[in-house]
Amino acid sequence: MRRINLLWILLNCAVAIPGLFNAAYASYTDDLFISDDALPEVLTATHLYQAPAAVPGSVSTIDQELIEASGARNITDLLRLVPGMLVVPDSSNLGTVNYHGTSPGQARRLQVLIDGRSVYRSAFAQVDWSDLPIALEDIQRIEVFRGPNTVSYGANALLGVINIITHSGKDTHGTLIKGNIGNNGIRDSYARQAWHSTYSDMRLSISSLTDDGFELRKDGSDFRDSRRLSRFNLRANHQLNEQNSLDWQLAFKEGSNQINNNYQSAFAGKINPQPWEQDSNSDEQAKDYAASLRWNSNINAQHSLSVQTNAQQWERLREWRACDAQISFSSELNELWRTSSFAQRERLRRLKPIGNPSARQAVLQNWLIGQLVQPGALAHSCGLINENSRESRFDVEVQDTYSVSEQLRLISGLSYRYDQARSASFLNGRERKDIFRAFSQFEFYASEHWLLQGGGMYEHDSSNGDSFSPRFAVNYLVTPAHGFRAVYSEAVRSPDMFENHADWQYRVKDLRPAIAQNSNADFFISAQGNGNLKQEKIRAFELGYNGYFAPQKLSFDIKIFNEKITRMISHRPSLISFSLNNDDHIKFYGSELEGNWQATEKDRLRISYAYIKDQASNSLDQNVTPAHSGSLAWLRNWNADWSSSLMFFAAEQLNQNDLQLLTARLSRKFQLGSTRLQLAGSLQKTLNNQPIGRTNNKDNSHDTAYATVQLEF
């Protein structure tokens, strides 16, 4: 992608902004900002509804019009519209989303919420984007807070927060049926029904998503990455009286994800160069359950109270057959591995003398050498490997919002969360943690133009100890719709259960042939967490501007940032080399721009751009952040029936490859009596066909075309 001259952009903005400000101030004095175009509000930054110019940070909003116009089938595709957001397909159905880079294979440093309920799996630091129990059609908007926000949402909101806000029951009407059909086995369906009564509203949706996967190996053979899933989502709102309301949800998802079997024998190429039998059916069965209940009480015009409680369960089941040398399951080799240092293990897995062995290690090593020269040393057995895991969570939060005066608002709260994970292979049983939080923030208008905001969160994590995360911001509001900001914030990320307390070993069942008449055995390679990892910590500075010009129907946000993560845990999980520490760090600095312009009554233009430089101490975190990335979108309503969209996404040197992606959509609406029919065609095309996930594969994940039929009545 051609480099964009950042200085040129900033200079042009500097020239243009004063003229726009003059127009903006004139509009403000004529009260045009409020009467003609009411200022939008965002919620995710502080739990308070605020105008974008008053937010202590940068917030991107993907509204319903953008969601529909994009033609996207996945939430991850929408997030490419957010500046600085990196969407990386791991194996197509296991795409990851990160902000400003680091750990491209996992979403360790982003908090992801659905209506305030965290879907970040703290046991394995994952967000399973394909398995979220929510359909795109259920989403009203997505708010993305771009920056540290532990002060509002606790540990793991290290680099940002993605808040997915769904349609409430009262905002949904009638019946909607929708289907997609296209190449690569795309077969999607969605149905929604709404019910209303005097004091209650309810929305029910049932959906499915199917495709055959999108990646190929270099030789053109299929890469196992298809998926089949179905979802159920029910949301209801009850107005108990003038002051009190209840909002509850039930969600369920089940399905299967193909996982390509990359298994290789521990001794491959050493004592047996022949490929051994392995199970091609290594699919993962996934089930997610979620329930939430929220009570809101407006005590009076100045005071409100809310209580939200959530219960969730994630279930991942995977069992498959693989083969290795029979010696791999011996108790002697198990003992030798467990008693060896990291350096010794590196030599052991290459069948080299481990060096400086203890007396017991010398005995075991001599035994191993003797076994390898025996007849039949190449014999192998095949058995079932279990990678099942189950996680559960319960949390409750009480939040109090109080307007002390017209100048001062306070928000404070307490929360408790219980997390539990079970896995025989990864944790050798069960791990749990309890998290207690207390938070408070203030919003104080010192004058008509000066807004001061600050707050902090204290968090006690039974696995990681205590932490305190503060934030302080100063906003200068030229008008209610135009504001400059300066923000300082700190945030933390807790090591997940697996990082800190891994006890990773495969207990193989149904060995064929059995070893010494035993069909069950432990594979010799294992890994253990040290339990001493500390929380990662970030310190971030931000200078920015947010403005909305009502006469021009133009809004944009600019920010310059400097972020440094210390005590960083850099790794890609590996059974063979599992050695984690807090020795790494990374620094990000750069700028971001986002703009939205309703150019005419029929045309909407949107732009995003990010310039990011990083300095990482660990090679795993280097070359995974594109210096230049961005998006362009053009939405047009040609007339009452026809509409179209054209979107372009680009990233330079993402995983050492450039991304150039084009999406297009054309739709037409028909009114058939009381029924509304919509037909649409969507095309996604990579312009340079370079893989940005697994660099050894061909990624054609966006060379897709599909048709959509929608009925609403």
Q: What is the pTM of this model?
A: 0.90
Pairing between β-strand 536-549 and β-strand 482-493 as defined by DSSP bridges: antiparallel
What's the CA gap between 190 and 134, in Å, rounded?
Answer: 11
Average pLDDT of the chain is: 86
Q: What is the CATH number of domain 6-255+278-318+387-495+533-712?
A: 2.40.170.20
* Separation of first and last alpha carbons in the chain: 45
Q: Is the dihedral of CA 556, 560, 564, 568 positive or negative?
A: positive
Q: Which tens digit of pLDDT belongs to each residue from 367-410?
A: 888 888 887 777 888 889 899 999 999 999 999 999 999 999 99
Q: Which tens digit of pLDDT belongs to each residue from 83-99?
A: 999 887 655 556 778 88
Q: Which tens digit of pLDDT belongs to each residue from 422-478?
A: 999 999 999 999 999 999 999 999 999 999 999 999 999 998 899 999 999 999 999
Query: Which single residue is written with the structure tokens 């392995």?
Result: 278
Query: Which single residue is written with the structure tokens 């659905």?
Result: 114
Q: Which tens digit of pLDDT belongs to each residue from 498-546?
A: 999 999 999 999 998 888 888 899 999 999 998 899 999 999 999 999 9
- E-state strands within 197-329: 200-211, 215-217, 227-239, 244-257, 284-300, 303-317, 319-325
pLDDT of the residue at 653: 72
Pairing between β-strand 227-239 and β-strand 244-257 as defined by DSSP bridges: antiparallel
* Among the listed residues 205, 291, 193, 202, the one whose alpha carbon sits nearest the alpha carbon of residue 238: 202
For residues 243-255, give the mean pLDDT.
Answer: 96
Phi-psi region of 219 (alpha: psi -120 to 50; beta: other; left: phi over 0): alpha
What's the CA gap between 369 and 633, in Å, rounded?
Answer: 64
Domains of the chain: which residue ranges? 6-255+278-318+387-495+533-712, 325-385
Q: Which tens digit of pLDDT belongs to each residue from 585-600?
A: 999 999 999 999 999 9
Quote the radius of gyration of the chain (alpha carbons, Å): 27
| Residue 550 scores a pLDDT above 70 | yes
HSE-CB of 48 using CA atoms within 13 angstroms: 27
